[in-house]
Amino acid sequence: MDERLKKIIDGSDNIVFFGGAGVSTESNIPDFRSEKGLYKAINDYGRSPEEMISHSFFVSQTETFFDYYKKNLIYPDAKPNKAHRALAKLEAQGKLKAVVTQNIDGLHQMAGNKTVYELHGSVLRNYCIKCHQFYDLDYIMDESHCRGSVPICPVCGGIIKPDVVLYEEPLDGDTMDRAISAISRADTLIIGGTSLVVYPAAGFVRYFHGRNLVLINKQETSYDSHADLVIHDAIGKVMDMDED
């Protein structure tokens, strides 16, 4: 682990981690908003990624929505990386109190974190929009449960929707409240793998009033000048605790 970060962590006992797509890219989950993701969406479907995973597109073009979603947002073989494992260790030590994530892959829980606030939901949970029965990822990926690419509820025949916040949909109020509460109580906030440009999540930083604001991101962010420690590097490399 970076020695400057380690010193801050050693002197903290109420850490919150706020993470974005850069945390998952090291597990080979590409950022669909990246230049490569944008090219793929435009080239294959003639539409932007934001349009493809919007609520209105889900409603009006459900078949195409699921075709894109299953090919571009589902990575069942992905495994937690060094950053995920470090955060799980810090929680086990009692240092880390919560993970607030914009990612939808469930890798924080797979690594062992218990308190995870998923601002944008999770691909691992899916529910029928008619009877609200829940289904796991394996169910919706099984073609025998689908009409074309659209997963169908065996109970009522309704469409099964991923429990993911689509564009045009609001974030879950309870999840937001819990995340903001955790951030406002933290003595150290570590922000990693996010450019802090996607709102409302990016605005959560202003609720932090603790001692140490740490930013770990490969590129500069608009908050760099406000941070106590800024590291422009891969988050897995910076947070690596696998040898500890």
From the list 55, 84, 108, 120, the catalytic residue is 120
Q: What are phi and psi of 208, to 5 degrees?
A: -85, 125
Q: How far is CA 68 from the centre of its chain?
A: 18
Cβ pair 46, 70 in contact under 8 A: no
Cβ pair 198, 20 in contact under 8 A: yes
Nearest alpha-carbon partner for 70 in 180, 160, 185, 3? 160
Question: What percent of the chain is helix, strand and coil (3-state, nearest 5)?
Answer: 40, 20, 40
Q: Is 120 one of the annotated active-site residues of the chain?
A: yes
Residue type, 238: V
Q: In 49-188, where does DSSP find H-type helix?
A: 49-52, 55-60, 62-72, 82-92, 107-111, 137-141, 173-185
Residue type, 207: Y
Active site (catalytic) residues: 120
